Amino acid sequence: MSDMMPITALGGRSPRVDTHGGVTLTENTNTALASYAARLGSEEKACTVLAEAIGRDLAGPGQVVFGTFDAFWMGPDQWMIAAPHDTHELLAFELSQAAGLSASVTEQNDAWCRFDLTGNRLASVFELLCPVPLRDWTGGEATRTSIDHLGCFVICKDVETVTVLGPRSSAGSLHHALLTAMKAAL
């Protein structure tokens, strides 16, 4: 067991933290992810199951809800669910068991790298990264967009807490882009 030690998306043993201009950029490795897509004709059941699992009404297009688990809308009848990895590494399995044949659940734990940005001038950083109108966001928005040619999800918890999910293999490039934008904007 001990020889199967995980590394972070950036290649370290522990998450990287950078701070600049009042914004903290944290590599978050403790996130289990599962995509949850309703099966054709079972949408209602699939949604009920998922709503129960997260303890909240489901997020609509462009939205995220934060409940027992966090869940954001990915596409029609499809959500991404996030939970702490240390307690829910088998999140996809758990959700799949709950959904039965009503939803297709796919493990996405390591498909993404996750960076959390906290600070009070995030809109200035993000306007150098992507066309997401962060200045108009108040919290509860989530969308896929393109950052530095990479397809990423931008998820806004509140105006001072924004998460970026990007392709794990490009974690280094994405981290570089985020840090570069912080230094340019702040």
Partner 1 sequence: MIIDHPLLGPRDSAEFTYLGDASLIHRPDWEAKDAISQFAEYGYQRDNPAGTHRELWFHEQGDRSWLVVTRSTTTHEITQVELARDVARREGRST
Partner 2 sequence: MTQVNRLAGGQVDRSKELSFKFDGKSYRGYQGDTLASALLANDVRLMGRSFKYHRPRGPLTSGSEEPNAIVELRSGARQEPNTRATTAELFDGLTAKSQNRWPSLAFDALAINDRLSNFLAAGFYYKTFMWPAVFWEKLYEPIIRKAAGLGSLSLQDDPDSYDKGFRHCDLLVIGSGPSGLMAALTAARAGAEVILADEDFLLGGRLNAETYAIGDEDARDWAAATVAELGAMSNVRIMPRTTVIGAFDHGIYGALERVSDHVAVPADGKPRQILWRIYTKQTILAAGATERPIAFEQNDRPGIMLASAMRAYVNRWAATPAHTVAIFTNNDDGHRTAHDLAAKGVTVAAVIDTRADALKSEHFEVIPGATITNTQGRLGLTVIEVTLSTGQTRSISCGALGVSGGWNPNVHLASHQRGRPTWMPEISAFGPGATLPEGMHAAGAAMGQLSTHGALQSGAAQALVALKAMGKEGARPDPPEAEDAPIRITPFWHVSGAKRAWLDQQNDVTAKDVKLAHQENFRSVEHLKRYTTLGMATDQGKTSNMGGLAIMAELAGKSIPEVGTTIFRPPYTPTAIGAFAGRSAGADFRPIRKTPSHFWAEEQGAVFVEVGMWLRTQWFPRPGETHWRQSVDREVAQTRKSVGICDVTTLGKIDVQGADAATFLNKIYCNPFAKVPIGKVRYGLMLREDGIAMDDGTAARLAEDHFVVTTTTANAVGVYRHMEFVRQCLFPDLDVQLISTTEAWAQFSVAGPNARNLLRKVVDEEHDISNEAFPYMGCGEISVGGVRGRLFRISFSGELAYEIAVPTRYGDALIRKMVAAGEEFDAVVYGTEALGVMRIEKGHAAGNELNGTTTALNLGMGRMVNKKKDSIGSTLSERPGLNEKDALKLVGLKPVDPADPVPAGAHLMTKGTPVDAAHDQGYVTSACFSPNLGCHIAIGYLKSGDARMGEVIRLVSPLTGVDHDVEVVSAHFIDPEGERLRV
> Which residues contribute to the site for partner 1 (CB under 8 A)?
61-62, 73-76, 131, 143-146, 151
Does position 5 bind partner 2 by CB under 8 A?
yes
- Sequence-ordered list of residues with C-beta below 8 angstroms from that of 80, at least 6 positions apart, any chain: 33, 34, 35, 36, 71, 72, 74, 108, 153, 165
Only one of the segments 4-12, 47-55, 60-68, 156-164 lies at the binding site for partner 2 (rule: CB under 8 A); that segment is 4-12
Q: Is 67 in the site for partner 2 (CB under 8 A)?
A: no
* CA atoms in the 13 A half-sphere facing the CB of 72: 20
* In the complex, least distance from residue 12 CB atom to partner 1, rounded to whole angstroms: 28
Tell me the torsion sign for CA atoms 130, 71, 119, 167.
negative
Query: What whole-number distance in Å separates Cα of residue 125 and Cα of residue 172?
Result: 18
Residue among 87 and 146 whose Cβ is closer to partner 1: 146
Give min distance, CB of 156 to partner 1, in A.
Answer: 15
Distance CA 19, CA 141 (A): 24
**Residue 49, C-beta contacts closer than 8 angstroms, at least 6 positions apart:** 95, 98, 99, 100, 102, 103
Place of tokens 């489901």: 58
Q: Does 181 bind partner 2 (CB under 8 A)?
A: yes
**Residue 8 contacts partner 2 per CB under 8 A:** yes
List binders of partner 2 among 110-129 (CB under 8 A).
110-112, 127-128
Give yes or no for a contact between 102 and 39, defined as CB atoms under 8 angstroms apart. Answer: yes
183 near partner 2, rule: CB under 8 A: yes
- Per CB under 8 A, does 144 bind partner 2? no
Under DSSP, the state recorded for 1 is: -
Residue 55 sits in the site that holds partner 2 (CB under 8 A): no
Would you say 21 or 139 has its CB closer to partner 2? 21
Residues that bind partner 2 (CB under 8 A): 1-9, 11, 29, 35, 37, 39-41, 78, 101, 104, 106-112, 127-128, 130-133, 135-136, 148-150, 167-174, 176-177, 180-181, 183-184
